[in-house]
Amino acid sequence: MLLSVEGVSRAFGGVKAVEGASFAVAAGEVHGLIGPNGAGKTTLLNLVSGLLRPTAGTIQLDGVRCDGLAPHRIAALGVTRTFQNIRLFPQLSALENVLVGEHLRRRAPLWRRMVFLPSAAREERAARARALELLDRVGLADRAAEKAGFLSYGEQRRVEIARALGSEPRVLLLDEPTAGMNPAEVDSVARLIAEVARLGHSVLLVEHNVPLVTKACHRITVLDFGRVIADGAPAEVMRNPAVVDAYLGTRR
């Protein structure tokens, strides 16, 4: 398993947002994480990306323990993410946003640029070319020079995905990438996710849109009140009575 979460808990004071959650994401798979509002999905993503530390449990990436590491270290291990409430750098252009996403891949130290070494310029050209390629992949090559803050909502979401792909992550965490999108935009995001998986990135997808999740995911984990209540292939999970209860309520 590429990413494995074992017995992870996180409490905020007395509130247990995540309680003993365990699941694993296989290499090259799209793994869905669903659950009603307040189930702890975003908290779990924050735990995996290092923005929060778990109060108990372990998280491993390819056998390397990464819970408790600083976010930039976890990113260096190969986990990047997008945010539910889009967090682009609004004053930077779409291209620059993706270039920042390539931070971990760009290696030339600053002194080389200070003394005008050609190798630094070469690397910069390569990084720009690659950023443009990523923007092209999300269908925004023509918007590269636009300030991210001026892009439409759907465009911003896609730039954020391109930015997260900039470091060639092994696992891409997507936090509700289709929130607030119209059906056509949802379709394009679904195609994008499939393409990302085909390119060899594993995806952990937090989503509310159940049809999208059942279509896009190889495997689904369902959270309710911070606990895992079901885990498996989409079709079987959706038939699971506990899942139906969590989403629709129990018959009295």
Partner 1 sequence: MEALLEWWLTYQSAVAFIGVNALLALSVYATLSCGQLSLANAGFMAIGGYAGALLTLHTELPFALVLAAAAALPAVVAVPLGLPVLRLRGVFLAIATIGWGEVVRLALVNWDYTNGALGLVAIPQRAGPGVIYLCLALALFVFWRLRGSRAGQALEAIREDEPAARTLGIDTTAYKLAMFAFGAGLAGLAGGLEAHLTFMVAPSGYGFSRVVDMLVQAVVGGIAHFGGPVLGAAFLTLLPEALREVSRVTGMEPGPLRLLANGLVLLLVILFLPNGIVSLPQRVREWREERRAARALVG
Using CB under 8 A, list all residues that contact partner 1.
49-51, 70-72, 74-76, 80-81, 83, 87-92, 96, 99-101, 103-104, 106, 108, 110, 113-114, 124, 127, 163-164, 166-167
Place of tokens 């793994």: 31
Residue closer to partner 1 by CB (options 106, 219) is 106
Q: Please state the closest distance from residue 107 (CB atom) to partner 1, in A.
A: 8
Provide CB contacts within 8 A for 162, sequence distance 6+. 94, 97, 98, 101, 131, 134, 135, 137, 138, 140
Instruction: Supply the minimum distance, in Å, between the C-beta of residue 67 and partner 1.
Output: 15
Nearest distance, CB of residue 106 and partner 1, angstroms: 5
Q: Would the CA dihedral through 164, 165, 169, 173 be positive or negative?
A: positive
DSSP 3-state assignment of 151? Answer: coil
| DSSP character string of 5-17 | EEEEEEEETTEEE
Minimum CB–partner distance for residue 174 and partner 1 (Å): 13
- The CA distances from residue 249 to 198, 199, 241, in Å, are 37, 39, 10
CB of 99 to partner 1, least distance (A): 6
Kindly state the smallest distance separating residue 226's Cβ from partner 1, in Å. Answer: 22
> Which C-beta is closer to partner 1: that of 70 or that of 233?
70
Q: Which two tokens stand for residue 104?
A: 């971990």
Sign of the CA dihedral running 166, 172, 174, 175: negative
- Give the separation between CA 222 and CA 78, rounded to whole angstroms: 24
Q: State in Å, rounded, how far the first CA of the chain is from the last one.
A: 40
CA dist., res. 117 & res. 107, Å (int) = 14
